[in-house]
């Protein structure tokens, strides 16, 4: 099992991001402090990756760029190590946004625990 992230797993499409954060139908969200996940099924996507994701660490929450980059790296690492442990239904394509909601730095262990809960919730809702 390769534990790397590929470019095709990166959510870059402006239309997909707008549909994800717009109050449209099919958008679901969950919070596991300090990370919030927003996701939706995207059957029209051309990428072969079952999950495309983006990470947002708002400047309002962490004022220093160094801290924002550190949290973004921790969230990305937690996703990279855990996303393959959950069952993703065949043929279902999901767009996920992870948004950091705390106002201070959190240790990796806390981010990893939150990511596991969120991935379980996302994969369960896409399986049904």
Domain CATH for 11: 3.30.230.10
| Parts of the chain with a pLDDT under 70 | 1, 128
Residue 67 is encoded by which pair of tokens?
């801290």
Is residue 106, in this structure, part of any structural domain at all? yes
Is residue 68, in this structure, part of any structural domain at all? yes
Is residue 1, in this structure, part of any structural domain at all? no
pTM of the model: 0.94
Is residue 41, in this structure, part of any structural domain at all? yes
Is residue 82, in this structure, part of any structural domain at all? yes
Asked if 83 contacts 75 with a C-beta cutoff of 8 angstroms, the reply is no
Predicted confidence at residue 1, as pLDDT, reads: 58
Predicted confidence at residue 24, as pLDDT, reads: 77
The parent domain of residue 123 ranges over 7-127
Predicted confidence at residue 126, as pLDDT, reads: 81
Is residue 2, in this structure, part of any structural domain at all? no
Give the number of domains in the chain: 1
């Amino acid at each position: 099992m390769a534990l790397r992230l590929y470019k095709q797993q990166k959510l870059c499409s402006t239309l997909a991001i707008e549909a994800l954060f717009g109050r449209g139908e099919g958008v679901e969200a969950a919070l596991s402090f300090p990370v919030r996940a927003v996701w939706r099924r995207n059957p029209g996507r051309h990428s072969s990756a079952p999950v495309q994701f983006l990470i947002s660490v708002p400047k309002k929450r962490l004022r220093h760029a160094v801290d924002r980059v550190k949290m973004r790296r921790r969230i990305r690492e937690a996703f990279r190590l855990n996303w393959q442990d959950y069952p993703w239904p065949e043929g279902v394509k999901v767009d996920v946004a992870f948004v950091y909601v705390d106002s201070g730095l959190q240790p990796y262990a806390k981010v990893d625990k939150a990511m596991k809960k969120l991935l379980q919730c996302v994969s369960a809702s896409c399986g049904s």
